[in-house]
Structure formats: structure tokens, C-alpha cells
């Protein structure tokens, strides 16, 4: 049972020294448990938070323990009602070949799911995050302008495409020309801007002649600085993620802009609301799944995956994800 464990906590950006590949015995499932074999492992930005022991909404990974992560796995042996050998399941198997589960937080995909890895992306946690955050907090109305960064990742790409379905103008922000081209040509964004351009703030202003009504916050940092002056009265900000600061070891350079932020929220009567997907929207998943299945079938939502071959390559792919080296949803093919 190959496992990638947390060797030490990162200071700043994770390095390969923070991870270690180990080999453990394949565990035996007890009463009320099942043994799962990992086929696909999802890599997600939140994992950076679990590597740190700073207080957060979830416990950190212990040093020496396998990294946590969502997986699509096959049931090898089950002592659990509702799960049989050969079933495909979505679970929290972690960065390892085999895991034990008691069935909690496990979703059965049946014997022959069509696109099993999609359960980690467009049909799973990131897709649901985009849907719930945009529709429940963003409340987009036809004709409004939505801005979203990390625009080709699983959350941002889905936010933009749902925004188009809802009749909005969608302005994407991504790292580099190739990603921006994809957002416009394949995902149907109205425009997409390169966040690395020296003229980015002005480009964003030019791309939003009517201001911004919904800013779906995935990244924070310099992108938010450029967005803030463009927000319209009554704008909504679903606060989903702040990836630009996940590796930070100190506060950003001054001057302190909190007063300006709060002043803008106040005078423009802006609503900014954080959310953690399964905590904040415990009952919405079935509605999301039904809508999303339909949109995909109708060709209204497209989905791009970056498949990484082999568990041993997970650390490098994860470090790349935090830097924007990924292009689409990062999934590791762990086994067959
Ligand atoms: P992505 O696949 O989009 O990967 C992250 C992307 O962030 C990178 O590809 C890069 O895109 C961008 N990025 C990295 N560094 C910076 C930076 N300094 N400034 C601006 N952009 C940067 O990830 P996901 O779609 O899985 O997640 C998107 C966000 O949603 C994350 O912040 C994540 O933590 C959050 N999230 C929150 C959830 C919740 O429940 N609240 C649930 C799921 C995700 P590019 O190079 O194109 O700019």
C-alpha cells in the first residue's frame, strides 16, 4: 500500500521535502468497514491548509500520516450494507493505494459509472462549489457582469459557464494567454484577462465598462485589489478561496487597505460572504447534480481535466497547482 505522507510542515510554498513516499501493509477492514482501492485522487488547493497546523475549519494532517484527499475508488471487500465488491465510490481515501472506510461521506457510483473521475471535479466538490457559491450567494441576474479568477480551474470555469447560462456578461481572469484563449473559445467567457500582464488592472477596468456586480472570489491578492474599485453598488462577493495567500508567511506589503475595503463595502452596500461548501450547503447537492447533468448533456458546460499518471507524481502536481501550472482540474491516476 503506497502512501504519500506528510514528512514535515511547509514554511511558505510546499517542497518535495515535505512529502515522503512510504509502503505500508494493505489494511484489513473490520466489522462495519470496507477496503477501497484508489483509482483517481483529486488534488485541491485546500490541501495546503491541511499541511499547516494553523487553526482552520478542519484538522491538520498529522506528521507521518497520509495526506488527505478525495478519491474515486473501487470496493475490494465490504462488511458494510449498501456497498458491494466492485462498486465505484467517491470517498476521502487520501494519497494512497488502499484505504479503509466506514461509509461516512462516501457516495456510491455503482458498477459502471460513465466518467468516474468527473465525480472529483465538475460533478463533485469543485463543480458544486461553483454552483452553490454563484447562485446562492452571488445571485446573478441577466445582464449583470460577473468576474472570476482561476478561470480555467474546476471552480472558476464552472462559475463562468453557469454565469453565461444565467444571461450574464462573464469576465475571466487567468494566468497566461493559453488559458485565456481556452476560457473564451471553449468555455464561452465574454473576455478573459491575463493576471500577469503589467496592465492587468487597467485591462480589467476596460473589460468592465458597466462595473462588476458579482465577483466570485477564488484568489484574493492583487486580483482583488484591481476588482475592488470596479464593484457596483449592491455587488455580491461569494468568498470561496484566497489561493494567492495560501503559501504566505507574513502579511502583504502595506499600506493597510482594510479601511478602504470596509469603506467600499459600506457605502456601496456590498455583501461579501464566505462559505465552506458541504458545511454551508448541506442539502443542495441533488439539485446541483440534476442541473449540471442536464447542462453537460446539452453542451452548455464543458470540462477540462489534467490527468497526472502515478501516485508518486502527486506532490509535484500539487505544488504546481498552487502556482497555476495546472490547466484544468488536476486528477492523479493512482491505479487501474
Ligand atoms: P484551480 O484548479 O483553479 O487552481 C488554482 C488556480 O489558482 C491556479 O491554477 C492559478 O490559476 C490560480 N492562482 C494561483 N496562484 C494565484 C495568485 N497568486 N493569484 C491569482 N491566482 C492564482 O483550483 P480550484 O478550482 O480547485 O479552486 C479555486 C479556488 O476555490 C481556490 O481558492 C480553492 O481554495 C477554492 N475552493 C473553495 C471551496 C470552499 O468550499 N470554499 C471549495 C473548493 C475550492 P491561473 O494561473 O489561471 O491564475
- The DSSP secondary structure of 272-325, one letter per residue, reads EEE--HHHH-TT-HHHHHHHHHHHHHTTSS---EEEEE-GGGHHHHHHHHHHT-
Same domain, 7 and 148: no
Please indicate, yes or no, if residue 295 is contained in any of the structural domains. no
* Cβ proximity of 295 and 120 under 8 Å: no
Classify residue 284: in a domain, yes or no.
no
Question: Domain holding 114: CATH number?
Answer: 3.90.180.10
CA dihedral 258, 262, 268, 271 (to 10 degrees): 110
ipTM of the complex: 0.99
What spacing in Å lies between the alpha carbon of 300 and ligand 1's midpoint?
22
Q: Which of 176, 184, 218, 285 to mutate to test the pocket of ligand 1 (most atoms within 8 A of CB)?
A: 218
H-helix or E-strand containing 129? helix 125-132
Question: DSSP letters of 137-159?
Answer: II---TT-EEEEESTTSHHHHHH
- CATH number for the domain that contains residue 184: 3.40.50.720
* Separation between Cα atoms, residue 157 and residue 148, nearest integer Å: 9
Query: How far is the centre of ligand 1, averaged over its atoms, from the C-alpha of 126 (Å)?
Result: 10
**Cα Rg of the chain (Å, integer):** 20
Q: 38 with 183, same domain?
A: no
DSSP-based three-state secondary structure for 264: helix
- Is 189 within 8 Å of 171 (Cβ atoms)? yes
The cell numbers describing 148, all together, are 472570476
Q: Considering its fold, how many domains does the chain have in total?
A: 2
Whether 91 is covered by a domain: the verdict is yes
Q: Judge if 20 and 94 occupy the same domain.
A: yes
Question: Both 216 and 134 in a single domain?
Answer: yes
pLDDT tens digits for the chain (336 residues)?
999 999 999 999 999 999 999 999 999 999 999 999 999 999 999 999 999 998 888 999 999 999 999 999 999 999 999 999 999 999 999 999 999 999 999 999 999 999 999 999 999 999 999 999 999 999 999 999 999 999 999 999 999 999 999 999 999 999 999 999 999 999 999 999 999 999 999 999 999 999 999 999 999 999 999 999 999 999 999 999 999 999 999 998 889 999 999 999 999 999 999 999 999 999 999 999 999 999 999 999 999 999 999 999 999 999 999 999 999 999 999 999
- Ligand 1, pocket-test mutation among 118, 125, 153, 274, most atoms within 8 A of CB: 153
CA distance 221 to 242: 8
Judgement on whether residues 132 and 109 belong to the same structural domain of the protein? no
* In a shared domain, residues 103 and 146: no
Residues 156 and 102 in one domain: no
Question: Which range of residues forms the domain containing residue 232?
Answer: 125-278
Does residue 112 share a domain with residue 155?
A: no
Amino acid at each position: 500500500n503506497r502512501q504519500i505522507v506528510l514528512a514535515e510542515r511547509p514554511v511558505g510554498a510546499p517542497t518535495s521535502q515535505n512529502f515522503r513516499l512510504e509502503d505500508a501493509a494493505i489494511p484489513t477492514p473490520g466489522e462495519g468497514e470496507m477496503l477501497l482501492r484508489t483509482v483517481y485522487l483529486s488534488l485541491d488547493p485546500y490541501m495546503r491548509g491541511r499541511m499547516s497546523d494553523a487553526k482552520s475549519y478542519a484538522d491538520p494532517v498529522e506528521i507521518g500520516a497520509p495526506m488527505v484527499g478525495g478519491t474515486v475508488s473501487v470496493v475490494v471487500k465490504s462488511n458494510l450494507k449498501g456497498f458491494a465488491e466492485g462498486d465505484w465510490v467517491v470517498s476521502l481515501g487520501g494519497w494512497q493505494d488502499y484505504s479503509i472506510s466506514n461509509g461516512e461521506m462516501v457516495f456510491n457510483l455503482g458498477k459502471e459509472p460513465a466518467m468516474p473521475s468527473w465525480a472529483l471535479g465538475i460533478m463533485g466538490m469543485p463543480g458544486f462549489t461553483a454552483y452553490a457559491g454563484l447562485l446562492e450567494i452571488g445571485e446573478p441576474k441577466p445582464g449583470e457582469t460577473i468576474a472570476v479568477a482561476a478561470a480555467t480551474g474546476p471552480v472558476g470555469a464552472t462559475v463562468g459557464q453557469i454565469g453565461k447560462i444565467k444571461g450574464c456578461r462573464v469576465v475571466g481572469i487567468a494566468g497566461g494567454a493559453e488559458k485565456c484563449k481556452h476560457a473564451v473559445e471553449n468555455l464561452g467567457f465574454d473576455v478573459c484577462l491575463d493576471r500577469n500582464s503589467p496592465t492587468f488592472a487597467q485591462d480589467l477596468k476596460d473589460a468592465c465598462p458597466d462595473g462588476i456586480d458579482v465577483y466570485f472570489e477564488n484568489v484574493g491578492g492583487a486580483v482583488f485589489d484591481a476588482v475592488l474599485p470596479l464593484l457596483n453598488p449592491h455587488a455580491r462577493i461569494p468568498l470561496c478561496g484566497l489561493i494567492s495567500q495560501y503559501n504566505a508567511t507574513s502579511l502583504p506589503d502595506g499600506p493597510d487597505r482594510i479601511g478602504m475595503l470596509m469603506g467600499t463595502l459600506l457605502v456601496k452596500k456590498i455583501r461579501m460572504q464566505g462559505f465552506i461548501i458541504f458545511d454551508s450547503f448541506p442539502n443542495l447537492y441533488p439539485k446541483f447534480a440534476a442541473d449540471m447533468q442536464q447542462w453537460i448533456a446539452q453542451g452548455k458546460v464543458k470540462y477540462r481535466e489534467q490527468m497526472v499518471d502515478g501516485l508518486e507524481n502527486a506532490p509535484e502536481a500539487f505544488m504546481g497547482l498552487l502556482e497555476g501550472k495546472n490547466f484544468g482540474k488536476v486528477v492523479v491516476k493512482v491505479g487501474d
